[in-house]
Chains A and B, each alone.
Chain A
């Protein structure tokens, strides 16, 4: 039996009872329960090495698994920042002791966040100022992080601190693994424009972190972090097919044979623009997949998928508003309006559109800094 068939059988067995218990919009507790179930079959990150709780699958097969999850509408991974970002970085740079976190990340017993952005270091992440001072066997941390996704519920943080203020800004940064129950750490939720709180501000006052928690060499934290960002690359293929599917579903919901009426021509054309954009992101994803199959790496087009995806994400939210009309702003179910507000972050989080275009122009097109 192929891996894909095995996975299909696994989902056939476990998805229906999960849905029966948790419904279509599971709570975080439900998502965690799903992650635990998935990991009983080592499916949370099947591309991870077996000793870390994965199956050692090649990237193409792993992408096929992600695709199947999306097609089946399976719940998202609860501890996504550990699984998608921190885990692969620990696998690459971690000591044997640090790698003991990996199976726990997959089981969902450890939730992780990333302490990157600061009030003074957003787009200019390398300008971060949170200090880490070596004091005997400890690193003493003082400073503040902001926009920490899952920061309120996480147990651990991959934290970037400045350990050499005299060095050029990319060279004086270190990455450390910090248990968030360490004395001196205070967390506050950030209330977003949606009214929800998915991020935290995290304050560090004389927080002592053992030097053995240093991830990678001292002052090499930038390089370590770039590895983390690199792991997000193949994810764009999944992201691309997901948004294409989302657009197709939106269109399916307004088919004439379903609604019995035609859309206003202007609205219909707006929808069709989203359709074309969604298909474009989809074919870019397929092109990336062809590169990944051949070389293990996505090609140049991957750098624009996030860009196009984020713009489409926003336009799609606007189109949903247009489709709902006044029903979106005075509604029993506020998800269209909330979705619209949330979409404003698409061109900010993970690198603003403007900064991504700068990076693309410099790294891919070779324009001068």
Chain B
């Protein structure tokens, strides 16, 4: 029982952990990675059908559970801990948040229902903010007949090859629009990327006159919200993964003997483990703080930046220290620790690294000239429920 979570959230955590330990242990994760499947279809179907996880943030009226981001963040801690391969974060978190943010829309409702059922896999192609660099997307939307047409390239789309629906954020008129595109449609070219994190796929996507349907109105605020949720989701996953990294390192330090004694009896190793513990606890606390702020609509953007500013660098540090605790075995392919190093390193980049978010927070706190005269940082509204 963790007292900063409700009894229901504790129960959800236990259920998801037990499920993933049984259905997606390390051997299964490795199999998915080695076959290049991206996900275990059966596990994916059970997550949706038995546990309703893909529909956590989907309104009940559309076949989801209508919970808040607090419960979703608990699940993300567990998928991070288990290194669950697949498009869960892309489809159940990013795409659902985008569709919820876009407002009442028949196509959005249909997609949300499909995502909740696990039948539809969607992801978001951001106009910026995933890579936090110039020209990460060059996509432009132009009206075409009754719909829209997309042209341009998105450098990285998380789970772009797994998705059957791409939700593309692109300039439309004076603002941004959210556009739904069938991933298999004509004019959509997806090139799988070689990714560091073996458990999260990504693709480069090229649009050449691809037909698209606009969902909702101006999506400028919507994308800001999805980016905050994405950063917070990455932080929650990293926190859960760091808790597991701590366990792995401590277990090893207790049994591995050198100089006739367990290496965990040496102060230098103790200190590494204590440092990992401090990061695991801090990451968990700050990720839950961000999830709570997002759910409450209470300055979620700043709280998400805070969580990402902390976890990006520090969870990577924790994974590195865990490798060090293991010595040579930690440098092998067979040992699971590198899967965590890969996960943390990639997560540190997506939705902005520590430095990016510190700069962003500096702006929100009024330390830079540009922040003058801007409205106070807007909270991220809670998902519709």
Contact = CB atoms under 8 A, between A and B. Distances in A.
A367 B372 CA distance: 51
B369 interface: yes
Contact of A357 (B1, B270, B286): B270
A229 interface: no
A interface SS class: helix
Given A269-B359, A293-B3, A368-B254, A284 B369 contact: no
B369 A262 contact: yes
Interface residues of B, number: 44
B362 interface: yes
A308 B277 contact: no
Interface string A195-230: 000000000000000000000000000000000000
Top 3 nearest A-B pairs (CB, nearest first) are A361-B270, A367-B264, A272-B358
Nearest to B246: A365
Contacts of B36: none
Interface in B2-29: 2-4
Interface string A348-363: 0000001011101110
B362 A268 contact: yes
B46 to A, nearest CB: 32
A273 interface: yes
Interface string B232-264: 000000000000001000100110000001101
B195 interface: no
21 contacts: A255-B367, A256-B368, A262-B369, A272-B309, A272-B362, A275-B358, A287-B288, A291-B4, A301-B285, A304-B278, A308-B282, A357-B270, A365-B246, A365-B273, A365-B274, A365-B277, A366-B254, A367-B250, A367-B262, A367-B269, A368-B262
A360 B277 contact: yes
A365 B246 CA distance: 9
A310 to B, nearest CB: 12
A276 interface: yes
A112 B24 CA distance: 59
B271 A354 contact: yes
Contacts of A254: 367
A203 B288 CA distance: 51
B281 A300 contact: yes
Contacts of B253: 367
B254 A284 contact: no
Interface in A320-369: 354, 356-358, 360-362, 364-369
B281 A301 contact: yes
Given A255-B365, A357-B267, 13 more contacts: A256-B368, A256-B369, A262-B368, A262-B369, A271-B362, A271-B367, A273-B358, A283-B282, A283-B286, A304-B281, A307-B278, A357-B270, A367-B270
Contacts of A357: 267, 270-271, 274-275
Nearest to A277: B310
Given A255-B365, A284-B281, A358-B270, A290 B4 contact: yes
Interface centre among B274, B286, B361, B365 (most CB of A within 10 A): B274
A251 interface: yes
A295 interface: yes
A171 interface: no
Interface residues of A, number: 44
Contacts of B262: 367-368
Contact of B3 (A295, A307, A356, A364): A295
B92 interface: no
A71 interface: no
Contact of B306 (A256, A268, A276): A276
Nearest to A258: B366
A195 B359 CA distance: 38
A299 B365 CA distance: 31
Given A251-B365, A272-B362, A280 B282 contact: yes
A357 B274 CA distance: 6
B265 interface: yes
A98 interface: no
A287 B283 CA distance: 12
Interface centre among A299, A308, A360 (most CB of B within 10 A): A360
Contacts of B366: 255-257
A368 B265 contact: yes
Given A256-B367, A263-B367, A364-B277, A291 B254 contact: no
A286 interface: yes
B358 A276 contact: yes
Interface centre among B3, B262, B355, B366 (most CB of A within 10 A): B3
A367 B262 CA distance: 9
A272 B274 CA distance: 25
Contacts of B274: 307, 356-358, 360-361, 365
A354 B267 contact: yes
A312 to B, nearest CB: 11
B289 A283 contact: yes
A294 interface: yes
A369 B265 contact: yes
Given A269-B359, A276-B306, A307-B278, A358 B369 contact: no
B323 to A, nearest CB: 18
B3 A290 contact: yes
B285 A286 contact: yes
Contacts of B271: 354, 357-358, 361
B278 A308 contact: yes
A279 interface: yes
Nearest to A361: B270
Given A256-B368, A367-B270, A284 B282 contact: yes
B385 interface: no
Contacts of A308: 278, 282
B138 interface: no
